[in-house]
Amino acid sequence: MRAAVIGSGNIGTDLLIKLIRGSGAVTAAAMAGIDPGSEGLARARRLGVPTTAEGVEGLIGLDGFEDIGIVFDATSAAAHHANAAALAPYGKTLVDLTPAALGPYVVPPVNLDEHLDATNVNMVTCGGQATIPVVAAVSRVAPVHYAEIVASIASRSAGPGTRANIDEFTETTARALEQVGGAARGKAIIVLNPADPPLLMRDTVHCVVDDCATERVADSVREMAASVAAYVPGYRLKQEPQFRALAADDPLVKLSGGGRLLVSVYLEVEGAAHYLPAYAGNLDIMTSAALRTAERLAERNPAR
């Protein structure tokens, strides 16, 4: 299946390189941006990929546009609304890497196969792609009354799009913790870490559940982590899942509506360094998840 990338920044460029290096199920057909002098468009041209600096309208006007089946949007939440409207008449499948969330949330190892017929799928956020699988792994063993995640990313890996969408990040991730992860209530926090040299992405997941078989929960988390690592090799547990009984007066008990066991999981995501530095695991997990989604869509409709 032929695919185009809208957005010539860090995420779009990394995704383009993954498409070129990938399995061949999805191939790079075009890149669209709005800055004629961007490094992303220049790199695409050097790699032999058709480009336009006129955004989505320029993409629609490119030769071969009619043969493109998938369009990745790596712009911003606000821009995705306009891009989706412009592409709506052309029957393309959109894979949205912004927090716009016009379509259903997709986290590949959790619910990808449920949305293969959707025309616009949303990849949630980097923190969501890292942590929602863990919440889902816990919830398939015990009901999760409350889930809270903290995503800590290197400040250098947070470009203008990420910084402009902080509110959307927290809101979208929290909703997806509930709708995809299965938590009754979700909360998301993002931390831009200014450390120099930059640190790898770290994610903390806390789930409040009822008393349950802790080893079953741990096994489920390990299994899910392996599923994510199959397409994000730098994804790993920093230690074994931790369990702590909560006192009756613990604020988390009241917040969760009565759960008495806290499950804590600590993650690290190292980027593949295809284009971005290894510390930019937050961007790598997004582009890897988007590519995995597109590959599955191509398997579903190989003739396109």
- Here the contacts of 242-249 (C-beta below 8 Å, separation 24 or greater) are 242/266, 243/214, 243/217, 246/208
Is 212 considered catalytic here?
A: no
Q: Is 162 annotated as a binding residue?
A: yes
CA 12 to chain centre: 13
Distance spanning both ends of the chain, measured CA to CA: 6
Options 15, 126, 135, 297, the catalytic residue: 126
Q: Is 155 annotated as a binding residue?
A: no
Which phi and psi (to 5°) does residue 116 adopt?
A: -70, -15
List 52's β-bridge partners, or say none: 32
Q: Is 301 annotated as a binding residue?
A: no
Q: Is 189 annotated as a binding residue?
A: no
Phi-psi region of 91 (alpha: psi -120 to 50; beta: other; left: phi over 0): left
Q: Is 163 annotated as a binding residue?
A: yes
Q: Is 164 annotated as a binding residue?
A: yes
CA atoms of 56 and 65, how far apart (whole Å): 11
Q: Is 22 annotated as a binding residue?
A: no
Q: Is 11 annotated as a binding residue?
A: yes
CA atoms of 51 and 36, how far apart (whole Å): 10
Q: Is 289 annotated as a binding residue?
A: no
Q: Is 83 annotated as a binding residue?
A: no
Beta strand extents in 51-160 (DSSP E only): 51-52, 68-73, 93-96, 120-122, 144-154
Q: Is 158 annotated as a binding residue?
A: yes
Catalytic center residues? 126
Annotated binding site: 8-11, 157-165, 282
Annotated binding site for NAD(+): 8-11, 157-165, 282
